[in-house]
């Protein structure tokens, strides 16, 4: 502050001297015309003396400023100013980092919105297509396959867009994990690498879990819409997974209609029948037994088929395999046709060659027959 005050004072003095000199020069110019030669020489000498005096004053002022600066530097601590400079620089860098992070978050939000839109479009398209295709296969198969297709389409639609989001989350997790590890005193490379890899895995798994929940919600939504738009040809019974508990109705106690003791004594004891003779098994009885066994086996097989839960993933895979087999069969047929055409062309070429050779041989034979005749 002292330094600045001294500088201001010197500047003011110089300004005053310049103003006064300007005023004096204006007055002198007016008097120069009326002055003689000796007067002019005297005036010049006075002006030179004044300028030298002003130069001395200016030099003294500058020396004073320098001494004041030295005093100020001796009194104040340079480290304090350096600390303030570093603090200001750190604040500026923090502000810049904050701005960059805000921009990044905005960009990532846009990416996530776009991924959600892609997921919904893919789930809607494939669920509608599969529901239309499997409408004639019954309600259980159609529902299972449509739901699985909606899930797969949702995942496939969102995964490519979310790569950047996953990467940024993993990077942020790794940075924070490394800082925490260094604070905890972990300095070895393999320890820090282990911690950072685990942090990245946790961050990505967390995001994947959230994404799976979103995919499930969208799949359920568009699965219901697809079934509504393309209802199944036959509604089959579905297994709700609950146990079949049957409670019997209340029964009447048989003790109300029991006869009296006197009535029981009066009745004569019934005659015992002898053991029945075992009848001989004929061929007809054996055939009937075999037929019954077959019928039982058929019923058991039907029940097992009804109890089997439809695996949607397996059905999707089976459909894909069938499509691949069809494509292969088509390709084989096309190849066979192409080979047949090539063989036909080759045969035609061979026949043409043979004909040409025969014609050439005939001409040669005719020429050979003519030559001895001409010689004779």
Q: From residue 102, how far is each of 36, 98, 99, 114, 353 by CA, in Å?
A: 82, 6, 5, 19, 82
Range from 24-33, 95-104, 321-330 carrying the lowest mean pLDDT: 24-33
Evaluate if residue 248 carries a pLDDT over 70: yes
Evaluate if residue 19 carries a pLDDT over 60: no
CA neighbours closer than 13 Å in the CB half-sphere of residue 235 = 4
d(CA 63, CA 110): 65
DSSP class of residue 65 equals H
d(CA 161, CA 115): 5
Closest residue by Cα to residue 231 from 122, 134, 150: 134
d(CA 101, CA 107): 10
Evaluate if residue 265 carries a pLDDT over 60: no
Given pLDDT bands bounded at 50, 70 and 90, which one contains residue 330? confident
Higher pLDDT, 81 or 224: 224
Evaluate if residue 314 carries a pLDDT over 60: yes
Q: What is the CA radius of gyration of the chain?
A: 55
Please tell me the predicted confidence (pLDDT) of residue 280. Answer: 46
- State pLDDT tens for residues 122-161: 888 888 888 888 888 878 888 888 888 888 888 888 777 7
And the tokens for 122?
Answer: 């893919």
349 by DSSP, 3-state: which? helix
d(CA 170, CA 101): 15
Q: Exposure of 141 by Cβ count < 10 A (0-12 exposed, 13-18 middle, 19+ buried)?
A: middle
Evaluate if residue 70 carries a pLDDT over 80: no
Evaluate if residue 263 carries a pLDDT over 80: no
Given pLDDT bands bounded at 50, 70 and 90, which one contains residue 260? low
And the tokens for 160?
Answer: 């490519």
Please tell me the predicted confidence (pLDDT) of residue 131. Answer: 87
And the tokens for 226?
Answer: 């697809």
Please tell me the predicted confidence (pLDDT) of residue 374. Answer: 46
Please tell me the predicted confidence (pLDDT) of residue 197. Answer: 92
d(CA 373, CA 21): 147
d(CA 46, CA 21): 13
Evaluate if residue 68 carries a pLDDT over 60: yes
Please tell me the predicted confidence (pLDDT) of residue 311. Answer: 62
Higher pLDDT, 251 or 237: 251
Evaluate if residue 375 carries a pLDDT over 50: no
| Average pLDDT over every residue of 196-210 | 90
Higher pLDDT, 313 or 246: 246
The pTM score is 0.39
Higher pLDDT, 343 or 271: 343
152: Cβ–Cβ under 8 A, 6 or more apart, which residues? Answer: 126, 316
And the tokens for 319?
Answer: 């459909």
Percent of the chain with pLDDT over 90: 3
Determine the angle formed by the axes of helices 37-75 and 2-32, rounding to 10 degrees. 170
Domain range summary for the chain, segments of one domain joined by +: 2-76, 103-229, 328-376
d(CA 112, CA 99): 20
Higher pLDDT, 33 or 63: 63
229 by DSSP, 3-state: which? helix
| Average pLDDT over every residue of 59-82 | 76
350: Cβ–Cβ under 8 A, 6 or more apart, which residues? Answer: none
| Average pLDDT over every residue of 101-106 | 81
């Amino acid at each position: 502050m002292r330094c600045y005050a001294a500088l201001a004072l010197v500047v003011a003095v110089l300004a005053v001297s310049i103003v006064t000199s300007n005023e004096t020069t204006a007055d002198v110019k007016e008097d120069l015309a009326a002055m003689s030669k000796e007067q002019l020489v005297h005036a010049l000498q006075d002006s030179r003396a004044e300028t030298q005096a002003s130069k001395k004053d200016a030099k003294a002022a500058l020396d004073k400023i320098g001494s004041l600066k030295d005093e100020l530097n001796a009194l104040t601590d340079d480290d304090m100013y350096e600390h303030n400079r570093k603090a200001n620089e750190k604040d500026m860098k923090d502000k810049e980092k904050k701005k960059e992070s805000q921009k990044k978050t905005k960009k990532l939000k846009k990416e996530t919105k776009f991924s959600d839109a892609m997921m919904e479009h893919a789930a809607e398209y494939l669920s509608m297509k599969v529901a239309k295709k499997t409408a004639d296969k019954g309600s259980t198969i159609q529902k299972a396959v449509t739901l699985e297709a909606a899930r797969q389409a949702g995942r496939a639609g969102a995964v490519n867009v979310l790569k950047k989001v996953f990467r940024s989350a993993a990077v942020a997790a790794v940075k924070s994990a490394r800082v925490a590890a260094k604070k905890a005193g972990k300095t070895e490379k393999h320890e820090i690498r282990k911690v950072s890899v685990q942090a990245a895995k946790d961050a990505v798994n967390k995001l994947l879990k959230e994404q799976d929940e979103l995919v499930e919600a969208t799949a359920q939504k568009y699965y219901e819409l697809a079934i509504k738009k393309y209802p199944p040809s036959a509604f089959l019974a579905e297994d709700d997974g609950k146990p079949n508990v049957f409670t019997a109705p209340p029964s009447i106690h048989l003790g109300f209609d029991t006869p009296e003791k006197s009535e029981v004594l009066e009745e004569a004891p019934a005659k015992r029948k002898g053991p029945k003779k075992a009848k001989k098994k004929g061929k007809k009885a054996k055939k009937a037994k075999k037929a019954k066994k077959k019928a039982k086996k058929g019923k058991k097989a039907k029940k097992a088929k009804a109890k089997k839960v439809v695996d949607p993933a397996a059905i999707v895979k089976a459909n894909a395999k069938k499509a691949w087999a069809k494509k292969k069969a088509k390709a084989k047929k096309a190849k066979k046709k192409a080979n047949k055409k090539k063989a036909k062309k080759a045969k035609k070429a061979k026949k043409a060659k043979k004909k040409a050779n025969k014609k050439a041989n005939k001409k040669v034979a005719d020429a050979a027959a003519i030559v001895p005749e001409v010689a004779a």
